[in-house]
Amino acid sequence: MLNQLIEQLQTNVWFFYTVIIFLGLTVGSFLNVIIYRLPVMLDREWTQQCHDYLQHDATDTETRAEKFNLSYPPSTCPQCQHKIRAWENIPVISYIMLGGKCSHCKTPISIQYPLVETVTAILSVFVAWHFGATAQTMAALILTWSLVALTMIDAQKQILPDNITQPLLWLGIIVNIPKLFTSIESSVTGAIAGYLILWFIYHLFRILTGKEGMGYGDFKLLAALGAWMGWEMLPLIIVLSSVVGAIIGIAMIVFRKHDKGVPIPFGPYLAIAGWIAFLWGPQITRAWLG
């Protein structure tokens, strides 16, 4: 059944890309839900754990006030609590139809929502164009969507949730058992080396400066990228992420849009560098080596 579907997509290229665009927009809409709700869910969970550990009664706190997950409560306008109807939740199109405002109270809707949907669709097309109608595309799309969610969450909340990084790491090893992207030996070695490299840099930086240069979520993200691509891509990912991070960080400070004392999350740069290396790593390495 799956092979027949892949064959049909291979013979009808335009239909294939249409499906990918539709899928990317739809998943992008769901990623917006994850980006907003997952940090809130984690915050409530951690707060509840603290209350339980300290044996405090958290009955009246927000952690037990209302059920809150990725599907409940239904999406509403944060200003007037107007429930978002189905026609108001069509990726990108609804934003344009509504003029970027709530249909009830006319409060502006964050541009993040159509941007995430659009970027997710564009990245999905790049993946489909690179790998074609193959099993590699199906796996690569999951990696791409996960990196989009991690980038946005870390940029906004400076956390890389284990709920995403750990399953991503194990999935990277699983898909490489049949050598989908690299050998299983390289995948396992990449996961181990990816974690230990940043772990070593973290502790060395802390010893030399007395400060923490990154979080443990960064270790897990690089380990996941190593599991997907193998240890051979780790040097390129680290170099690319450092260059991108330095350029953006300096630009933010120079243009006075970021206080020097406020930490800059490293996860988005790892995710961007990892995605670039995933698609074009060998070509970049060959070009660099002449």
**pLDDT tens by residue, the chain, 290 residues:** 556 666 666 678 888 999 999 999 999 999 999 999 999 999 988 888 887 778 765 554 544 557 888 888 888 887 888 788 888 888 999 999 989 888 888 888 899 999 999 999 999 999 999 999 898 999 999 999 999 999 999 999 999 999 999 999 999 999 999 999 999 999 999 999 999 999 999 888 888 888 777 889 999 999 999 999 999 999 999 999 988 888 877 777 777 665 666 677 889 999 999 999 999 999 998 888 77
Angle between helices 216-229 and 162-175 (to 10 degrees): 20
Question: Could you tell me which of 221, 270, 263, 277 has the C-alpha nearest to residue 242?
Answer: 270
Closest C-alpha to 227, from 164, 154, 177? 177
Instruction: Count up the domains in the chain and report the number.
Output: 2
Residues 222, 166 contacting (CB under 8 angstroms) = no
pLDDT 10s digits, 190-201: 999 999 999 999
Backbone angles phi, psi at 76, to 5 degrees: -140, 165
Residue 139 and residue 116 share a domain: no
CA-only gyration radius of the chain, Å = 21
CB atoms within 10 A of CB 59: 9
Domain assignment present for residue 150? The answer is yes
**Whole-angstrom distance, CA of residue 154 vs CA of residue 166:** 15
Task: Give pLDDT tens digits for 167-210.
Answer: 999 999 999 999 999 999 999 999 999 999 999 998 888 888 88
* Same domain membership, residue 129 and residue 178: no
If DSSP codes are grouped into helix, strand and coil, which group holds residue 248?
A: helix
Q: Is residue 17 part of a domain?
A: yes
Q: Looking at the structure, do residues 157 and 118 belong to the same domain, yes or no? A: no
Structure-token pair, residue 57: 């009664």
Same domain, 123 and 140: no
Asked if residue 24 and residue 90 are part of one domain, the reply reads: yes
Q: Among 181, 133, 110, 92, which Cα is nearest to 8's?
A: 133
Counting Cα atoms < 13 Å in the Cβ hemisphere of 34 gives 22
Residues 110 and 242 in one domain: no
* Residue-level pLDDT at 1: 59
CB 233 within 8 A of CB 225: yes
231 and 206 in one domain? Answer: yes
Does 1 fall in a domain? Answer: no
- Quick check: is 122 in a domain? yes
Q: DSSP 3-state assignment of 265?
A: coil
228 within a domain of the structure (yes/no): yes
Task: Look at residues 253, 254, 225, 227 and name the one whose alpha carbon lies nearest to residue 240.
Answer: 225
Q: Is residue 194 within 8 Å of residue 223, measured between CB atoms?
A: yes
Amino acid symbol at 131:
F
Query: Using CA atoms, how far apart are residues 288 and 290, in angstroms rounded to an integer?
Result: 5
Residue 127 counted as domain residue: yes
Residue range of the domain that includes 39: 6-133
Same domain, 111 and 164: no
Provide, rounded to the nearest whole percent, the portion of the chain with pLDDT above 90.
Answer: 54
Count of CA atoms in the C-beta half-sphere (13 A) of 207: 6
